[in-house]
Amino acid sequence: MEIAELEKRAKKIRFDIVRMLCKAGSGHPGGSLSAVELMTALYFDQLKHNPKKPDWEDRDRVIFSKGHACPVLYASLAESGYFPVEELMTLRQLGSRLQGHPGKDKGLPGIEISSGSLGQGLSVGIGLSLGFRLSNNSARVYVIMGDGECDEGQIWEAAMSAGHYKLDNICGVVDYNRLQIDGATEEVMGLEPFAKKWQDFRWEVIEIDGHNLKEVINAYRKAKEIKGKPTVIIAHTIKGKGVSFMENQASWHGDVPKGEKAEVCLNELGKCLEDLNGEG
Amino acid sequence: MEKDKSKWKETRAGYGEGLVILGERNPKIVVLSADLTKSTHANLFKEKFPDRFFQFGIAEQNMMGAAAGMSLAGCIPFVSTYAVFATGRCFDQLRVSVCYSNCNVKIEGAHSGLLVGPDGATHQSLEDIALTRVLPNLTVIEPCDVIEARKATLSSAEIYGPVYIRLVREKTAIVTAEDSPFTIGKANVLRNGKDVTVIACGPEVAEALLAAEEAEKEGIKVGVVNLHTIKPLDEETIVKVAKETGAIVTTEIHQVACGMGSAVAEILSRTYPVPIEMIGVKDRFGESGQPYELLEKFGLTSTSILNAIKRVLKRKT
């Protein structure tokens, strides 16, 4: 897909995220907005998938490990056609398939596994990757992680095993927005030297600007060509990207704009959409 | 029941035998280990099917998550480790990645309970029934002997969804025969009683049978139920024996709190309340010692069961 067209999708997804969170009245905007381009590039350009056949055996798998940021996952799935966009407005409501954190048992098409207890997705991805290798399935596995969740020991157990098994059908993606609930990642629990950690665990590392769609797509393409070891894309991003008062503010990790503030951000994002549509 | 100790065998051996049979039958079977391949008996599978054996090192959380992932790729993974690690070390991975996602993962909890012996309390899992029976979607089985352990392993692959199989390290009595029935979720009545029924799981089934024989000598007619499936519980059989005998003794090598006996009491208290005595470990950790010395010390042998039978009889109205 053309970059201009992808940008349009990204804007729409951002708008969906804020709209559904404002409606829900709770949730996690910061880490949803920082991952928009990472998810847009996957669902609209890179993934081998068919929204009409969500159970297709040979599809690429997206394991969304940073489960709290599921609004970006739900919006990406809905905009891809997995389910009606209007269903996004049921987020976090009683009986909804759009749980506060993804629940596989609720039957929402495109949800591969329940997640939300941080640090678990990479292991699931590694299991898929080993399983595909065993059955000669050429599907790829993408694991979307937060930076804060890399505090979890399980991430590094998983990283070690992917390096050990030389898994090259798995691509880790870290949304490195440098903020977690209690503040800056470096202050809460220093991750640096972050790239070196992954390299030391035998991973290929690609560092990019996670909001530059061209860079994001090139990174996914390059990862496909790396053989004999796993690849992680460390995407430098801005938490709350796209909403002026949310950008780089840890306080918007798990808080949702209400009243006037909600109108401000919907207007900001809505205007971006109109501008784009006007151009189109 | 086979009382000749030279023929006794550890239930974990039944798991190993079962894995090999499954491996031959079904190419989707894969086995995962966290540096305990020989003691979990997963080595039997590893030798025959090296391509379908996956070593994860001493990292159970990753292994449990990877098993969930492998099931999503169409495999039927058997996670092989000790009961303490399978349920305690990676409880959250078991809860979220496996059970909440209803992944088709089978879990071996080897070395459960006091029969671990000299290794002591860290390795004697007395909490794993409690930790597993509260998890939705998870089936929980404790086979009573090596034959039943093999059948449980084979049967676990026949049903979709996560299954926990609780096993022991020490050689234990052979209670069942090759042609004894085994269906997940269906308790086996080994002995019909009139006065009281002992409901047991794992190696305690043999102790219960010994206690019943002793009681018979004193004119007490004791029934024995092998409750190999702790979840889902066979409510029908439990209520039936409660009605027939009017008193229940439960026995398990596990904490009394939240164990198999508690599960039985939960059912009977709301359907057909009768006096219940519960044998198990009473709110303390284990310790080093020879396996059967420990059963004696913790009051889990046939003698203790016989005493409980007499106590519960006195409570019958």
- pLDDT of B193-234, one tens digit each? 999 999 999 999 999 999 999 999 999 999 999 999 999 999
Q: Which of B10, B60, B108, B277 is catalytic?
A: B60
**Spatial separation of the C-alpha atoms in residues B150 and B129, rounded to whole Å:** 20
Residue B281: in which H helix or E strand, if any?
Answer: strand B276-281
Residues A117, A119, A123, CA angle at the centre, nearest 5°?
A: 115
Distance CA B241, CA B199 (A): 9
Domain B8-172 has CATH 3.40.50.970: yes
Residue A278 in this model has a pLDDT that exceeds 70:
no
H helix or E strand, kind and range, residue B153: helix B146-156
How close does chain A come to B98, measured CA to CA in Å? 9
pTM, 2 dp: 0.97
CATH architecture of B188-308: 3-Layer(aba) Sandwich (3.40)
The per-residue pLDDT for B2 is 81
- pLDDT tens digits, residue range A62-71? 999 999 999 9
User: β-pairing, B188-191 with B222-226?
Assistant: antiparallel
Which of A57, A61, A124 best tests the B interface by mutation, with the highest count of B CBs <10 A?
A124
DSSP string across A152-197: SHHHHHHHHHHHHTT--SEEEEEEE-SEETTEEHHHHS---SHHHH
Q: How far is A151 from B4, CA to CA, in rounded Å? A: 54
**pLDDT digit string (tens) for B250-308?**
999 999 999 999 999 999 999 999 999 999 999 999 999 999 999 999 999 999 999 99
Residue whose pair of structure tokens reads 């560092």 in the numeric block = A207
Q: Among this protein's residues, is B60 annotated catalytic? A: yes
The chain A residue lying nearest B136, using CA atoms, is A105
| Residues with Cβ within 8 Å of residue B294, at least 6 apart in sequence | B114, B115, B117, B286, B287
For residue range B243-254, what is the model confidence (pLDDT) as tens digits?
A: 999 999 999 999
Q: Are B34 and B60 in contact (CB under 8 A)?
A: yes
A158·B51 Cβ contact <8 A: no
Q: Please name the amino acid found at residue B22.
A: L
Across the interface, do A127 and B66 touch by the CB < 8 Å criterion?
Answer: yes
Q: Which two tokens stand for residue B208?
A: 């219960």
Q: What is the mean pLDDT of residues A111-122?
A: 98
User: What are the strands of the beta sheet with B229-231, ordered from one edge?
Assistant: B53-55, B29-33, B76-82, B106-110, B163-166, B139-141, B229-231
User: Is A124 within 8 Å of B66 when comparing Cβ atoms?
Assistant: yes
Buried residues in B47-77 as b, exposed as e (16+ CB within 10 A): eebeebbbbbeebbbbbbbbbbbbbbbebbb
For chain B, residues classed under CATH 3.40.50.970 are 8-172
Which residues on B lie below 8 Å from A110 (Cβ)?
A: none
CATH number of A3-279: 3.40.50.970
Residue in the block written with tokens 């928009």: A36
Q: Where in chain B is the domain with CATH 3.40.50.920?
A: 188-308
